[in-house]
């Protein structure tokens, strides 16, 4: 998908420049740099207009490429993500959405963050705010509105053996694994390790969507399936959905043998219930590289791949990274 560029992109500075700032403000040239993955600029809505700057006589204003806010979509589903990029001469920034803050990471042509929407986040129009610092140390705030669209979750009934149920119901086993994953998924590597499009990591039939609520051995449906499941024969190759660094390749109790890839900027992909891994922790992988083989390890009722995506600790619908509904 390639959203059309909306003309008339403008930029404004908030009050509070350092005294004597010799910044030349020109009419907006609409910097034409692409966002980090090649998506075009969409729209910037200013919140405060700029007072006329003062140029101190005898000084030469330093030209600054104005910041532009680039967002991948104005409509995002629950469990979707918005790629937020800011181009221009900026040194850092923070995106804020739905009460969460995302430090911008350095990309090849911009600074970016994958802003997440959780399964139960409120639907409707929500403000997106990005505070950035320019190379001359001045601060700029950009904002826009993104509409969160409701997702209707499906329900699945699962049957586990006594042994599996025992493992599942041992709260310490589940809690320890979740805590470890939360620590990994909550990290932010401030550089871009992903590139280009995302790909489905295995050839197989979709057997359980992200977000599905579960009834286990007849229990009341609860929770949300944190990944996307594909049924495939044991030994089927699993490839990296995108480039990044392997941060986990080991055996866990619930998710079985698992690989996690850090894609930078707080975004991770996880691959669970594997029969074997082909990578080691710390290794850099390219998009499409074989990283493991499908298996039936951990709490699993048959050979399949459980594929997770997480942005700064929030599990997201991985298929929205490949079906275009996130706008990238």
- When the beta carbons of 224 and 306 are compared against Zn ion, the nearer one is 306
**Choice from 117, 306, 310, 328 touching Zn ion (CB under 5 A):** 306
For the CB of residue 285, give the shortest distance to Zn ion in the complex, in Å. 22
- Is the CB of 73 or the CB of 300 nearer to Zn ion? 300
Q: Which is nearer to Zn ion, 66 or 227 (CB)?
A: 227
Indicate the residue whose CB is closest to Zn ion. Answer: 306
Smallest gap from residue 265 Cβ to Zn ion (A): 25
Number of residues that bind Zn ion (CB under 5 A): 3
Q: Least Å distance between CB 317 and Zn ion?
A: 12
Residues 212-251 that bind Zn ion (CB under 5 A): 227, 229
Question: Residue 283 to residues 245, 254, 259, 307: CA-CA distances in angstroms?
Answer: 6, 24, 11, 19
Q: Which is nearer to Zn ion, 306 or 320 (CB)?
A: 306
What is the token pair recorded at 201?
A: 């990591």
Q: How far is the CB of 312 from Zn ion (least distance, A)?
A: 21
Q: Determine the interface stretch with Zn ion among 112-120, 121-129, 162-170, 303-311 (rule: CB under 5 A).
A: 303-311
Task: For residue 301, count other CB atoms closer than 10 A to its CB.
Answer: 13
Q: What are phi and psi of 210, to 5 degrees?
A: -60, 145
Cβ at position 150, least distance to Zn ion in Å:
22
Strand partners, 171: none
DSSP codes of every residue in 185-218: HT---SB----S----SS-SEEEE-TT-EEEETT
User: Are 300 and 257 within 8 A, CB to CB?
Assistant: no
Q: At CA 104, angle to CA 176 and CA 209, rounded to 5? A: 50
What are the distances in angstroms from CA 87 to CA 101, 137, 203?
Answer: 19, 16, 36
Shortest Å, Cβ 161 to Zn ion: 17
Site map 172..211 versus Zn ion, x via CB under 5 A: ----------------------------------------
Handedness of CA 298, 299, 304, 307 (dihedral sign): negative
HSE-CB of 176 using CA atoms within 13 angstroms: 10
Residue (77 or 306) nearer to Zn ion, CB? 306
For residue 179, give both structure tokens: 């805590």
Q: Which is nearer to Zn ion, 192 or 320 (CB)?
A: 320
The binding site for Zn ion (CB under 5 A) comprises 227, 229, 306
């Amino acid at each position: 998908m390639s959203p059309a560029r909306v003309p008339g992109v403008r930029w404004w500075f908030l009050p509070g420049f350092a005294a004597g700032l010799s910044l030349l403000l020109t009419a907006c040239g609409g910097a034409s740099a692409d966002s980090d993955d090649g998506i075009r600029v969409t729209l910037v809505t200013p919140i405060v207009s700029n007072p006329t700057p003062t140029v101190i006589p005898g000084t030469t204003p330093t030209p600054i490429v104005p910041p532009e806010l680039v967002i991948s979509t104005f409509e995002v589903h629950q469990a979707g993500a918005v790629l937020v990029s800011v181009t221009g001469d900026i040194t850092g920034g923070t995106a804020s959405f739905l009460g969460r803050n995302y430090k911008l990471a350095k990309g090849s042509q911009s600074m970016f963050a994958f802003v997440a929407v959780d399964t139960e986040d409120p639907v409707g129009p929500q403000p997106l705010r990005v505070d950035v610092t320019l190379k001359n140390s001045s601060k700029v705030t950009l904002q826009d509105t993104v509409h969160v669209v409701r997702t209707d979750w499906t329900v699945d009934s699962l049957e586990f053996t006594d042994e599996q149920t025992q493992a599942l119901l041992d709260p310490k086993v589940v809690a320890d694994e979740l805590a470890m994953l939360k620590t990994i998924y909550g990290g932010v590597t401030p550089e871009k390790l992903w590139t280009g499009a995302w790909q489905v990591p295995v050839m197989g039939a979709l057997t359980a969507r992200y977000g599905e609520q579960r009834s286990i051995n007849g229990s009341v449906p609860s929770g949300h399936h944190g990944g996307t499941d594909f049924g495939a024969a044991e030994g089927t190759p699993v490839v990296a959905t995108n480039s990044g660094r392997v941060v986990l390749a080991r055996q866990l109790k619930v998710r079985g043998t698992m690989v996690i890839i850090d894609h930078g900027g707080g975004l991770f992909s996880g691959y669970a219930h594997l029969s074997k891994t082909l990578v080691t922790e710390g290794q850099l992988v390219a998009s499409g590289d074989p990283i493991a083989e499908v298996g039936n390890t951990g709490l699993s009722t048959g050979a399949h791949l459980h594929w997770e995506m997480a942005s700064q600790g929030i599990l997201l619908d991985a298929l929205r990274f490949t079906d275009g509904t996130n706008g990238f």
